[in-house]
Amino acid sequence: MAYQVLARKWRPSNFTQLVGQEHVSQSLMHALQHDRLHHAYLFTGTRGVGKTTVARILAKAINCENLKDFNPCGECQVCRDFEQGRFMDLIEVDAASRTKVEDTRDLLDNAQYAPNQGRYKVYLIDEVHMLSGHSFNALLKTLEEPPPHVKFLLATTDPHKIPVTVLSRCLQFNLKRLLPEQIDTQMQFILGQEQIAFERAALKMLGRAADGSLRDGLSLLDQAIVYGSGSVTTEAVIGMLGTVAQQPIDDILQALAADDARALLAKIADVAELTPDFADILQQILRVLHRVALLQQMPDFVDHEFDKQLLESLAKALLPEDVQLYYQIGLLGQRDLPLAPDPRSGFEMVMLRMLTFRPQVAEAQTLEPVKPAVVKPAAGVSAPVMPAAVETRLIEEPRPTPAVQTTKPSNWTEIIAALNISGRTRELANNCVLDGIDDSSCRLLLDPSFQQVGTKAEDNLRAALQNYYGKPLKLVISKQAEQQMTPALEIQKAREDRQQAAVDSINTDENVQALKDTFGARIMPGSIEPLN
């Protein structure tokens, strides 16, 4: 018999065998239990997570003659025909190769006829987002009101390309990306059944390289078995994937924690001789930093993937804020790595950036009294006596606390700032000039061009003045032209002066003049604004 790849040989045949998709399998089993089957299902998710597999299991389950715990029994004639590809009532279509509207119409012409073998005629359309707009229109009416003996099972990796009119007529299930631990566990089970020797560290690397897809993981596992001549070893997987072992990663992190740039660059040079994938090395460093951050926050955290002693030593050597900084720099470095002149230099710059931006912890400096140096006098020479004035300068005496200024300001602009008012009340005050203030009243002259903002603003201003001076002052506002500038005019003049200064600075700038002379550049009107 021809060899069958692991991804096909170990494809799940019932809901219980699905890996990491319990939210889907449980919902479908409950639907079978209570006989509440929808007429159209849409399974979405990334490649290799089980969309088509779930659809085939559901198609087999709704036609199975003897369900066992709401799973296909695998023993009846329908299940056997399914496994052998001879079940006539399963019409499986690859929409990527049949996108035309004529193909869809031909497909649906037979939907009105009763099934031949099972209870339902099942249309399984894979990569349904590849259908044309006219094909979706042709499918729409049948999808909305199908015959009672027809079920539609749709699968796609890109549900955003499916019209909302189709989405609204389907019961949608989003299959999750699998975790590396789930893929690793499934690989261990398969290799145990196949009686193939393996190393746990090798499977962990394959699980991470699968990037959430179990099918991709099993394909890599097939390749690793061949590469390792019948076994899965760490050395073979490292050579196959182009990754490096964990020890160089540990050494790089130890040099980083020791703030030793020389050792760090030397270790990167050693790693570079293995022609590794520096992007993968950076990902491994980020994974270790993530575990270190968890260990710093939860001392009882246990991780079986990385060396416990390494994590504990890094957690003690690095401050939590340093770990967060390194992680953020590494994330941004992943984005910038393809833009570097070469992967090694890009990786080196990321690591050097971590060292450069690491905060330097200043040593605590305690203030101690300065002691004069004691000089031993020579024989026959009397020691000089230090003047009292010099000794007294060494003793720091407490400085007197400055007296609190209690005098109220007399300038109206300063008074406005001290009143802590805003909105219309401040606008009213800014357009007034102080005429006089005494123990009983505050007299203001209002600019005649200012439009009155209402009595509420006056009441608020009166209350602010009374609260500020601590007296029941009467507020008198008279409209009268005054030679003195109001605070509003002062603010406007200051704004105009800053704007003019910014324009003059640009016009006299040597670089701007060079651009004008060389390229005929011109300054766009209204494009200059002061910085503050």
What is the 3 state secondary structure string of 458-498? Answer: HHHHHHHHHHHHCCCCEEEEEECCCCCCCHHHHHHHHHHHH
Across 10-95, the runs of DSSP E, i.e. the strands, are: 40-44, 90-94
Out of 3.40.50.970, 1.20.272.10, 3.40.50.11290, 2.40.50.140, the CATH code matching 275-356 is 1.20.272.10
**Nearest alpha carbon to residue 59 among 141, 143, 119, 108:** 119
Q: Report the alpha-carbon distance of residue 209 to residue 205 in Å, rounded.
A: 6
Cα angle for residues 377, 382, 387 (degrees, 5° grid)? 95
User: Residue 249 corresponds to which tokens in the numbers above?
Assistant: 């990663």
What's the DSSP call for residue 239? Answer: H
Domains of the chain, residue spans: 6-174, 180-241, 275-356, 412-484, 497-532
Amino acid at 181: E
User: Residue 20 corresponds to which tokens in the numbers above?
Assistant: 């990491």
CB 217 within 8 A of CB 190: no
The pTM for the full model equals: 0.58
Q: pLDDT under 50 in the chain at which residues?
A: 362-406
User: Residue 119 corresponds to which tokens in the numbers above?
Assistant: 């209870």
Greatest Cα pair distance, the chain, in angstroms, is 129
CB 330 within 8 A of CB 350: yes
What is the reported pLDDT for 388? 42
Tell me the CA distances in angstroms from 126 to 53, 95, 320, 440, one per residue in order. 11, 6, 48, 88
Within a 10 A sphere around the Cβ of 39, how many other Cβ atoms? 17
Q: Report the alpha-carbon distance of residue 111 to residue 250 in Å, rounded.
A: 62
Q: What is the 3-state secondary structure (H, E, C) of 136-179?
A: HHHHHHHHHCCCCCEEEEEEECCHHHCCHHHHCCCEEEECCCCC
Phi then psi for residue 177, to 5 deg, are -70, 140
Domain 412-484 is in which class? alpha beta
**Nearest alpha carbon to residue 153 among 70, 43, 22, 32:** 43
Phi then psi for residue 371, to 5 deg, are -105, 135
Task: Work out the percent of the chain whose per-residue pLDDT is above 90.
Answer: 34
Q: Pairing mode, if any, of strands 432-437 and 441-446?
A: antiparallel
- Provide the Cα torsion 405, 407, 413, 417; round to 10°: 50
Q: Report the alpha-carbon distance of residue 182 to residue 519 in Å, rounded.
A: 62
Q: Which residue has the tokens 């390792």?
A: 228
Quick one: CATH architecture of 180-241?
Orthogonal Bundle (1.10)
What is the reported pLDDT for 391? 41
CATH superfamily of 6-174: P-loop containing nucleotide triphosphate hydrolases (3.40.50.300)
3-state helix, strand, coil in the chain (%, to 5): 50, 10, 40
User: Residue 350 corresponds to which tokens in the numbers above?
Assistant: 């990321």
What is the reported pLDDT for 270? 87
What is the reported pLDDT for 482? 62
Q: Which residue has the tokens 């416990």?
A: 308
What's the pLDDT tens digit per position in 205-231? 898 888 889 999 999 999 999 998 889
What is the reported pLDDT for 245? 63
